[in-house]
Structure formats: C-alpha cells, structure tokens
Structure 1
Amino acid sequence: MPTLRPAPADLPAELRVVVDYRKSGLSLNHVVGCPLDCGYCVRHLFRNFSMKQPHLVMDDVKAVDQLVGHWAFRPDTTPLQIFNRATDPFLPGVKEHLFATLEELDRRRLANPTLVITRWKIEPDDVARLEKLKYLRLTVLITWSGIADDRIEPAASSIAENSMKVLKSNALRTKSILYWRPVIAGLNDSDHHLERARELSFLTDATVFTGLFHRQEIRDYFRDVGVPDLYPSVARRKILPAETEQRIIAAFAGRPLFRKTSCGVAYAHQTADYNGHFGIREICDICPVEQFGRCASSHRQPDLAAISKLAELAQLDVTTMDVNGRRIEVQGSTEQQRYFMQHSLNFQVHDRGSPHFYGRHGRAEVGWD
C-alpha cells in the first residue's frame, strides 16, 4: 500500500476538520491534496489548490470513528460522501484509503447511502474490491465534462469515459452515475457535447447534470491562467442558464436524467430521494415515471413535533420556522443544520436568507429571467 505523507503543520484549519455536512451528505475528507488541476475545483475556496501531493490528515479508523461519532450521523440513514472535497478518491495511494474507509464502515454493518465522486481511472480490480461490500449502498459518480481546454481541465475526459466502461462491465451491486459537470454555457454545451453525453448515459445507471460554481476565487484563478470570464458575475450558487438546461433536457428525451444528485442516486438504487425534492414539484418534471411514483408514495409533510425535535438537536430556533407541502423554512441557519434536518425528514429545508425561487431549481440567477 503506497504511503501518503502526513498533512503539514500549516494545513488550513478548516481542512483539519475532516467531517462536515454538505447537501449530498455527511462528508469525510481525511486525505487532502490533488494533482489534477481542475480549474473549477472547490479547493480554491479552502486555500489548498496548490497542494498537489495527497496528504493524510489522520488514519482511516480514527476518521471513521469521527464520522460515526458526529452529532448528525444516523446509522443506515445519513447519506455519506468520501473524499469529495480535497482530493480525488481513485488517485494512486488515495484509493487504498478509500477502500479501507469503505470497508471499515461496512465492517460495522452500516447501510448508509454512500457517494464516491471521481474523474480518475477506475480499474477492474478496484470494482472487484467495491463489489465485496455487503451493507453500504454505494454509488460512484463519474465526473465528465467534455471540456478540451487544458487551462480549465487538464485531465482528459476519455479517462472518465473509460471508468464508466469498466464499471458497466464489472459492477452489479455498485451503482454508477454520469455526473456531467460543470456544464458551462458556450463551452461544453454544443450539440456535439449533448450527443456525446447522451451516448455515455448508456454506460451508467443515471445521468445528473449541474453547472459551475463561479466564486471569486475560481474566477481569479481562471483570469490568472488566461481564461476569459466564463460568466459576467460570480454567484453563491451554481450557474446553469435556463436555455442550456432546456437544450440538455431535449437532447436526453427518453433517458434517465436528473437535476439533483440525490435524485439520480435514488433512481439508481430504486428508492425515494433522500433530499425530499418531491416537495419542489417542478424539479421532478423530467423524472422517469417510475421514480416520480417512488417519491410520491413516500412524500409526507412532517409534523411539528418531529420538526421541533430535530431543530433542537441542530440548535435551531423553532419559533421562527414555517412549514408547508413544499418545504420547511428556517431562519439564521447553517448548511449543516439544514441538511441534517432535511436528510432526517426526507423533506426540503430552506433558509429565508437564501430563498429558492420557483422554477430555478436552487441555481444562481445568472441566465434566468
């Protein structure tokens, strides 16, 4: 097993916190550093993009202990993500820690939905090891963009395409998603890109498409390497213009296509969406009939007693909350607080300070009327 270097003493403090809550689940990141140089990487936001060599923050068992000991962790319920913030899980050396982490969770007989996101090489031996897991409900999301500009994405998309083929040929229990991201208007949304993405969709259990985080740090990086501004402004949420979305939906007619990661994962495993997007019904207008039915049959507006109990655990003010058939609305919350409640209830939780507008599907306003 290749040995990773210990993380340096000057590692940013937020990267020493190896467990945090994100929309698709409780995220475990005890390896940091990546050589792939994807220009849009969220590591820009953690002041860690310059660390090209993966480093180990703590050993795998200790990391799993922190994950399952987190106040928000619920056995068999809380969605999990492994190495999705600071490295690629299938890099040489890193993937040994990925396997060890998954196997440790599985050894504890945990059946949580578990997501692994990669754009790197998956080999048949890797799939064979994943297939030995007995309890975790594992999904591998393969990031593919079709972007040919090395300044934006140096790693060839053919690598991800081959990984899809390997999973298609070797996986039974392990589910796979074509994770088409970031879709950037005018860059990788041509008719050729749409046609290629549709072709690749036959290699996976579902396709999820999403836009670009265009934060100031990412725009500054692109300017430094000579890439003209991809959009006229930065935004807190991902940018995906309405026109681009409609062209993608038209191109994928008859194929399982999803706007949200958890929707694609749920379809692959034939379960209802754990994020409760069904309450925001316009998100579901592209879903396959069978998936719409699964989510419809499980969708329930939670009662105030259940909401209040979870709000207290999350240390949220119950008196400021409002609930209807679409969402629970809270005030002054963090993402961690909201997503804990959302995953516990399978029901959307929004904050008044960051409103969701009808039909925009939680995206930035750029490119929408």
Structure 2
Amino acid sequence: MSDEQAVDQLVRHPAFRAHDTPLQIFNRATDPFLPRVKDHLHRTLELLDELGLTNHMLVITRWHVLEDDVARLERLQNLKVTILVTWSGISDPRIEPIDSSIAQKSLKTLAAFASRTRRILYWRPIVKGLNDTDDLIAEAHSMSQFADATVFTGLFHREQIRDYLRSVNVPDLYEMVPRRKIFPREVEDRILKAFSNTPIFRKTSCGVAYAHGVHDYNGHLGIERICDICPADQVKICTAAHKPPTQLQLLNFAKEVGLEVDGIEVFPGHIVVGNSTEQQRYFVQHATGFQVHDRAHPHFPGRHGRAEEGWT
C-alpha cells in the first residue's frame, strides 16, 4: 500500500473525525525514524498536512531524530505534531536493547532545532527496583529541561514479557500480570518530589495538550486527582473545554460505533458504558472529551487507572 492510499483509507474511515481524532503512526511494529521507515513517516505527515488537517499526530520513537528530520517536520503547517522520545535509562541489554543515549541525543536535537514541532520526554517503563534509583530520577529531571513536557508511566507486565525475561534469566519484575500498568505509589511519590517545579504528567494526552497549549482530548480532568500535578494554567484550559455531552449527542455517538445504549450513565466527570471494546470507548471519548469507562473495569480513586500492585 502506498502512503497516498494509506492516507485515503484513514480519512475515509467512518471513525475518523477531521481536526478531532488524535492520530499515531508506526507505533507498534516498528520505529518511525528507522532509515527504511522515516521516508514514509514524513510523506504521510505531509499528505495529511496538505489536506489542512489540524489533528494531533503523536510520533513515538527511541531512535535517532536528526537535524534534517526536524527541518522537514518544521515545514508542516497544520497538524499538531508531537515527538514523544522514549527513554527508560535501563542499561541491561537483556531488557532494553536500545542504548538510552540515543533518546537523549534525539531530544537535544529537537530542543535545538524544533519550534512548531513539540517534544516530550516519554519516560517509560519505570519499574521499581530496576530503573527508579535516585541517580536515574535525577538524570530524567536533567533531560526534561530539553522537553516541552515529561510524561512518566509504569509497565504493562504481560505474560509474554515475563516469559521472555525468564528466558534470558531476568528475575520476575512483579508478581502480578494485570490488565493495567503497574506503577507503585512509592515510586511515583519520589518522582513527583524530584520534579516539583517541572511540568510532568501521568497521562500521555495531558502532556501533549500542555505542550500545544490546548485542552486534553481524553478528558482526564473528570477523574479525581489525576490532574492534581498539572500546572494551574493548563487546568484552566481543560476546565473551560470540559463540558458534558447532551443525551442525544451521546446516544448518536454510541450508535455510530455499535455500543449498547441501554445502561449508559453520565457522571459529573466521566461516562460509564457496558460490554464495550477499547476502540468503541476511544471513539466516544474523543468525540465528547469525556473519559469513557466500562463498568466491568472500574477506575479506583487516586490510583490513576493503574494496577493494584504497589497501591494496597
């Protein structure tokens, strides 16, 4: 499939909303800045930009971002492009095969040459006892000075990850293999103390919104205490945009993606649905600007959507 065909399929997709749907590219099977990939990255972004689209475009990388790459990104005029530079500080090659110094250099290149293109230090995964030392936290804080914002998060501890790490003789990182990310409270507390005067965010979309000076498209403001670390000016921006959908709007969005309309509940800060898929929830979430949860997977106050381990 050509880049032109891919863009055409995207903009014609029933779930795509011009200027609203947040987009990501090459974030699963490859890295967007690998030599054989980045020409497709740049061309795809240019094609979308030429359509006048102002959607968020998240580009996640741990590879080399060169000055020429930044120059090409800077020529875009419409898309809200954010480069999320993934860094973990993990030095054990059995766990992290990519040298973390590459991300450091990429972030500095973006800081030196990017203006319109936003940059985020994507600090992940943070694992208790592995890369949460005071020295690494201090190193992350130093790197954050080259970013518009820092987003920090824990580990999706999947069976496949545990099996692989066992195969290379790495002791189990955690006991549980939960549905949500593991990020112990004690680790978060130490990081927040170190970053007390630096913009740092628990959620990716919050960091992206802050970097662009717009509201959070995922509506995290409605979830208790997620935003208690956000800068006051950003909270004001999100508060002004955080308005509940009408019942008719919500029902239309739900029907559009085949969600069961019976049992949909609207609370002051979020929406609860039943028997839903992640894709269905995200569509309604982005259309309304309100968090959408399935009642089978409730969010617990103060845990910020994280797994139980490290919070009980």
State the aligned residue count.
312
Q: Which of 211, 215, 220 is equivalent to 2:154?
A: 211
Instruction: Give, as a single letter, the amino acid of the residue that structure 1 aligns with 2:31.
Output: D
Q: Which amino acid aligns with 1:268?
A: A
- 4+ runs deviating over 3 angstroms: none
Percent identity for Structure 1 against Structure 2: 60
Q: Cα distance, 1:359 vs. partner?
A: 0.8
TM-score (norm 2): 0.99
- 2:29 partner amino acid: A
- The corresponding residue for 1:170 is 113
Question: Structure 2: which amino acid aligns with 1:263?
Answer: C
2:246 to 303, 311, 315: 303
- 5 Å matches for 1:136-147? 136-147=79-90
Please give the alpha-carbon distance, in whole angstroms, between the structure 2 residues aligned to 1:191 and 1:137. 34
Output one character per residue of 1:131-182: Cα deviation in whole Å (capped at 9) or x when no partner: 0111101000000010000000011111000000000000010000000000
- Correspondence list, 1:36-75, <5 A: 58-75=1-18
Return the offset for 1:84. 0.7
What per-residue deviation string (whole Å, max 9, x for no partner) do you get for residues 71-99 of structure 1?
11000110000111110000111101100
Aligned to 2:308, what secondary structure does the other structure show?
Answer: coil
Question: SS state of the match for residue 189, structure 2?
Answer: helix
Do residues 266 (structure 1) and 266 (structure 2) align? no
Unaligned runs of 5+ in 1: 1-57
Which of these residues, 331, 337, 348, is aligned with residue 280 of structure 2?
337
Deviations 1:326-354 (A, max 9, x none): 21000000000000000011100000111
Q: How big is each residue's C-alpha offset from its partner over 1:14-36, in whole Å with a ceiling of 9 and x where there is no partner?
A: xxxxxxxxxxxxxxxxxxxxxxx
Letter in 2 for 1:107: E
Q: Does 2:40 match 1:97? A: yes
Aligned counterpart, 1:350: 293
Question: Matches of 2:275 and 2:13 in 1, distance apart?
Answer: 22
RMSD: 0.8
Structure 1 residues 1-369: aligned runs within 5 Å: 58-369=1-312
Instruction: Tell me which amino acid in the other structure corresponds to 1:130.
Output: L
Q: Is the 8 A contact 2:31 2:63 kept in 1?
A: yes
Amino acid at match of 1:111: T
- Cα distance in 2 for partners of 1:249, 1:72 equals 37
Q: Is the 8 A contact 2:224 2:302 kept in 1?
A: no
| Amino acid of the structure 2 residue aligned with 1:134 | Q
Distance in 1, matches of 2:13 and 2:204, equals 23
In the alignment, the residues of structure 2 paired with residue 305 and residue 85 of structure 1 have an alpha-carbon distance, to the nearest angstrom, of: 36
CA–CA distance in structure 1, aligned partners of residues 173 and 6 of structure 2: 37
Per-residue CA deviations over 1:104-131 (Å, capped at 9, x if unaligned) read 1111111101100000001100000000
d(CA) in 2 for partners of 1:182 and 1:266? 21
Q: Does the aligned pair in 1 maintain the 2:224–2:301 contact within 8 Å?
A: no
Q: State the 1:203 CA deviation.
A: 0.1
Displacement of 1:281: 3.2
> 1:5 matched to which residue of 2?
none
Q: In structure 1, what is the Cα distance between the partners aligned to 2:85 and 2:12?
A: 29
